[in-house]
Structures are given as structure tokens and as C-alpha cells.
Amino acid sequence: MLTQPRTLPREIRTERLLLWAAGVDDAAQQVAAVNASFPELRAWLPWAKAEQTLEEAEENLRVAAAAFDAGVEFNWIIRESATGAFIGRVSMFKVDWRIPKGEIGYWLATSAVGRGHMRQAVDAVVAAADDEGFRRIEIRCDALNERSAKVAQSAGFTLDARFVNDDVATTDPTALRDTLVFSRTR
């Protein structure tokens, strides 16, 4: 098996979506999507502690672009093909090219929820990873995040484990949360 870092496609097209390697030019649209969806994102994502500023988005996207170029983490902007609207992000991180394996993470703007976009984005990232010979892909989420768990299940991932009291709840640092671990192997 290869151990040298490789890469995943910078652009992935699906029937309804365009996944494009995240870059600083997307900062203003990311800020708008994050801040419009902040109450929903805050419930599940540790980085959503406050509404995002343009400077924070630029730095986040600069780091994401450098990681993509280095072949260690892959972050895509999700856009609707028909409108070009920025609707979220999907990432492959914790990449280990020795196996190869990685973990998929995602968030979607509230205005785009419930239309199958994230399932389609996850399917596209899995297909790209399959093309590179990935043997294991994981999705982890808070056990109470039913939407995220449903995406994993509908994309054919198997529930491997429930880690009890695995992390601190994102909205209450005095409460613990369970983490669900889904995987797809080949």
C-alpha cells in the first residue's frame, strides 16, 4: 500500500451539487451561511461558539486550502449546481494514507436542510475516496444529532459504536455527550 500523501479531486460534480476545494475567496459567502444558520450549527459543532467574522472565515479557509494542497485534509464548499448558492461544507480529515482511511465531517446551511443535499455530497466524497483506494471512512456525530446520524445511515454507513460520555456538549460545558461512530469499509 502507498504511504505517500496523495490527493482527492479539487472539484466534484453531482446531479445537483458542485463540491469545490475551499478557498479564501469563499469567505464572505461562508460567513453569511454560518451566521444565518448559527442557532442550528451551534447545537452540534464545537467551532460554532459565536457568529463567524470575515477574518475568522478567511483564516479558516486559508488553513483548509493549505491542508488540501498538502494532501492531509480535504475541505470542499458545497454549492447548488443550478444556482451556485453556497450551502455548506463537507470535509475528509484525519486522513491516514497508510491504510488509507479518513473521517467525513459536514455542515449545511439551514435553508438547504431536508433536500438530500448532504447525502449527495457525502456519496460524492465517498466515491472520490473509493477511487483513491480508501479502506475505511468514518462519520462521527453527537448521539442526539438525528439529522447527522440519518445522513450516515442513508449513505450506507454502519454504526460501529456509541462512546458514552465521550465529549463535552457544545452548548453546555457542564454536560457530557455520547458520540456515535459510523463506518464504511471495503
Backbone angles phi, psi at 24, to 5 degrees: -60, -30
Residue 2 has a pLDDT of 46
The residue assigned the cell 445537483 is: 16
Q: What percent of the chain lies above the pLDDT cut of 90?
A: 93
Please give the grid coordinates belonging to residue 114: 431536508
What pLDDT, on the 0 to 100 scale, is given for residue 6? Answer: 82
C-alpha 27/C-alpha 17 separation (Å) is 19
What is the per-residue pLDDT for 1?
A: 45
Identify the band that residue 35 occupies on the pLDDT scale cut at 50, 70 and 90: very high
Is the pLDDT score of 130 beyond 60? yes
Contacts of residue 104, defined as CB under 8 A and 6 or more positions apart, other chains included, come to 90, 91, 92, 122, 125, 126, 137, 138, 139
- pLDDT (tens digit per residue) in 14-27: 999 999 999 999 99
Q: Phi and psi of 169, rounded to 5°? A: -60, 140
* CB atoms closer than 10 angstroms to residue 120: 18
CA of residue 7 relative to chain centroid, distance: 17
Q: What is the pLDDT of residues 154-170, one digit of tens each?
A: 999 999 999 999 999 99
- The C-alpha cell that represents 47 in the structure block: 467551532
Q: Would you say residue 5 has pLDDT above 90?
A: no
Answer whether residue 10 shows pLDDT above 70.
Answer: yes
Give dist(CA 118, CA 55) in Å, integer.
Answer: 26
pTM above 0.85, yes or no: yes
Cα–Cα distance measured from residue 20 to residue 181, given in angstroms and rounded to the nearest whole number = 26
Burial class, 158, CB count within 10 angstroms (exposed 0-12 / middle 13-18 / buried 19+): exposed
3, pLDDT greater than 80: no
End-to-end CA distance of the chain: 14
Mean pLDDT of 81-102: 96
Judge whether 123 and 89 are in contact, CB under 8 Å.
Answer: no
Q: Count CA within 13 A, CB hemisphere, residue 164.
A: 0
pLDDT tens track for 36-72: 999 999 999 999 999 999 999 999 999 999 999 999 9
In which order are the strands placed within the sheet that holds 176-185?
Answer: 11-13, 17-21, 74-80, 86-96, 101-108, 136-142, 176-185, 158-168
